[in-house]
Structure 1
Amino acid sequence: MNRTSLILALAVVLMWSTVATAFKLTLALISPLQMLWIAVATSFVILLCATIWQQKLPLARQYLKQSAGYFMLLALLNPTLYYLILFAAYDLLPAQQAQALNYTWAVVLSIMAVPFLGQTFTLKKLISIILAYSGVIVIATQGNLLSLDFKNPLGVILGVGSSLFFASYWILNTRNPRDAVVSLLLCFGLSLPVLSVLMLIQGQITALPWQAVAGGIYIGTFEMGFAFLLWMQAMRMTDNTAQLSNLVYLSPPLSLILLATLADEPIMMSTIAGLILIISGVLFQQLKRKHRPSN
């Protein structure tokens, strides 16, 4: 694996390891909608600077002129609905649970790829689904599998449901590939007016504590904008995309440590067990069958 791409990817993993704690601390001060508005605005500025630096602003105008409806749909899916629902889950659940449930998006993507991308539904996919959603049940019941006593069903539905919007976003992106940085810029730019209208309707345009604003800026920088740019650069430079992508799964264990240390959130064994099942399901479907050598 290219050394520079590995360093960039590990830097992003460290960033993403901190954001669950940032979500929880910031949500203690403001609403999910307010936090998302600040984060999206921050990310938009970062992506705009990157687009100008790469001299791709004319491409953004071209994309918007050709496919305004398409990019509006993408913007509604991500960041608008995906992060609103995800942040609402973080607001209702312990951050460790919401984070673990969010990782089901990769499994949802493999399911949606069957009807929308014409991929085959295989035994491997079925096993990965069973593993991942067994993990969801473990987390949702906090290990009380026999009683199936769901501690916070709405939070679990939101945590898992957010993956549907993120997977839909990637399905649409796959069907119409365009420059990644420009596409993200348009998605975040078109999301801002939508979020602003929602803020106005709900009367959430108010003075906010500086700590909350700082938290939103941190999330916009290290969960979204800057992290996305570094990750895309790492993916462009690597000669092994699958291996690099698997580094993402280093993030949850580090995140659990930070949640326990900074957010005073005790680590539950059921979360660890469920997370292992979910990640196992995701990684299992990435296994490649070894070809037998021909005689």
Structure 2
Amino acid sequence: MKNQKQAMLFGLAAVLLWSTVATAFKLSLREFSPIQLLVVACSASVVVIAIILIVQGRWHLVFSLSRGQYVQSIGMGLINPCLYYFLLFGAFDRLPAQEAQPLNYTWALVLAYLSVPFLGQRLRRADIIAGLICYSGVVVIATRGDVLAMSFSDPLGVALAIGSTFVWASYWIIATRDTRDPVVGLFLNFLCGLPFLIIFCAFTDGFDLTVGMSLGAAVYVGIFEMGIAFVLWSYAMKKAENTSKVSNLIFISPFLSLVFIYFILGESILSSTYVGLVLIMAGLWVQQRRAKDQGLKEDTPTRKHVDVESL
């Protein structure tokens, strides 16, 4: 049953959680490597999503899929969580949270561009304008305001952040053909991706995981960014009478995230971050308005999940 008030509440709850994850990423990465963070977070996510499915009485759906759908789960699991979060956490490991977090929001624009060759959609003038606005914001953030010098603070970190947007957009293009229940699909993707992450971690950084704030932050990422926020956003979309109003809530997330980054991480927010973030959000608004005019549905989780995710 549609209920716009409930949809907005679910949407706000998801946005609030996504606003905290950039801070949680950095707290965990103080002691963990990106792959160690990913193993812990993915494990926590598998457990919490399984509990959600059991509580909802949908656990039996996990065992009712075709062989092809289970094979699909392996392939999609290699993309998300494995490749996507490895690139994203790598970016956060190298960049300040105030830089990595806004760059990740450009994935929605990448999705619009990749939809042209892969989904047969038309590239409109608004998409080009949105791209120019968004990526001018990326340059402002990546150069920390020294645009004329074009000297990037950490080129590899920026490349990882931008690369993650292409992986995430590609994932959602593939997901347009996914007929599985969304929560069941997410559970199986993470469950199938987890063994690969464990093996990779074992042969690289190992499992010397100190019990403390970093471990708690990693578990938080898995429970909330990878799990509960996705479910809340799905409920918001199902309950919404007007999905556009709900999806617009995501524009609150990056600015609210800066509040947590400032007060919890102690990062001094640069003026270039504000300028770049405003440009990125303005570009996404232009792109979203174009999508609305075309009658496109905005039913994917935005962040991370515009889940728009963890964030």
Query: TM range, normalised to the smaller chain?
Result: over 0.9
Distance change in 2, residues 1:97/1:239 (3 Å) = same
Deviation, structure 1 residue 46: 1.1
2:238 alignment partner AA: R
In the other structure, the counterpart of 2:52 is 50
When the two chains are superposed, the root-mean-square deviation of aligned CA atoms in Å is 1.7
Task: Output one character per residue of 1:244-269: Cα deviation in whole Å (capped at 9) or x when no partner.
Answer: 11211101111111111111100011
Distance change in 2, residues 1:280/1:204 (3 Å) = same
- Structure 2 Cα separation of the partners of residues 261 and 207 of structure 1: 26
Deviation, structure 1 residue 56: 2.9
Distance change in 2, residues 1:274/1:64 (3 Å) = farther
In the other structure, the counterpart of 1:252 is 254
Distance change in 2, residues 1:64/1:217 (3 Å) = farther
In the other structure, the counterpart of 1:103 is 105
Q: Which stretches in structure 2 are left out of the alignment for 5+ residues? A: 295-311
In the other structure, the counterpart of 1:84 is 86
Deviation, structure 1 residue 212: 2.0
- Structure 2 Cα separation of the partners of residues 223 and 253 of structure 1: 17
In the other structure, the counterpart of 2:299 is none
| 1:61 correspondence with 2:63 | yes
- Structure 2 Cα separation of the partners of residues 14 and 273 of structure 1: 22
- Structure 1 Cα separation of the partners of residues 254 and 164 of structure 2: 18
In the other structure, the counterpart of 2:224 is 222
- Of residues 283, 286, 289, the one that matches 1:284 is 286
In the other structure, the counterpart of 2:304 is none
- Structure 2 Cα separation of the partners of residues 136 and 255 of structure 1: 17
Stretches of 4+ moved more than 6 A in 1?
Answer: none
Q: In 1, are the aligned partners of 2:32 and 2:209 still within 8 Å (CA)?
A: no
| 1:3 correspondence with 2:5 | yes
In the other structure, the counterpart of 2:73 is 71
1:48 alignment partner AA: A
Task: Output one character per residue of 1:96-137: Cα deviation in whole Å (capped at 9) or x when no partner.
Answer: 100000001000000010011110011011111111111111
2:94 alignment partner AA: L
Deviation, structure 1 residue 290: 7.6
1:116-195 matched pairs, under 5 angstroms: 116-195=118-197
Task: Output one character per residue of 1:232-291: Cα deviation in whole Å (capped at 9) or x when no partner.
Answer: 111110011122112111011111111111111000111111111111111101215889
Task: Output one character per residue of 1:50-104: Cα deviation in whole Å (capped at 9) or x when no partner.
Answer: 2223333333223362323322121111111111110110010010100000001
In the other structure, the counterpart of 2:240 is 238
**Corresponding residue SS for 1:175:** coil
- Percent identical among aligned pairs is 43
Task: Output one character per residue of 1:131-169: Cα deviation in whole Å (capped at 9) or x when no partner.
Answer: 111111111111111111111111100111101111111
Q: In 1, are the aligned partners of 2:36 and 2:205 still within 8 Å (CA)?
A: no
Tell me the TM-score normalised to structure 2 length: 0.89
- Of residues 208, 211, 235, the one that matches 1:209 is 211
1:25 alignment partner AA: L
- Structure 1 Cα separation of the partners of residues 135 and 151 of structure 2: 16
- Structure 2 Cα separation of the partners of residues 163 and 52 of structure 1: 32
In the other structure, the counterpart of 2:25 is 23
- Structure 1 Cα separation of the partners of residues 136 and 238 of structure 2: 34
- Count of equivalent residues: 291
Q: In 2, are the aligned partners of 1:29 and 1:209 still within 8 Å (CA)?
A: no
1:246 alignment partner AA: N
Q: Which stretches in structure 1 are left out of the alignment for 5+ residues? A: none
Q: In 2, are the aligned partners of 1:64 and 1:71 still within 8 Å (CA)?
A: no
Tell me the TM-score normalised to structure 1 length: 0.94
In the other structure, the counterpart of 1:266 is 268
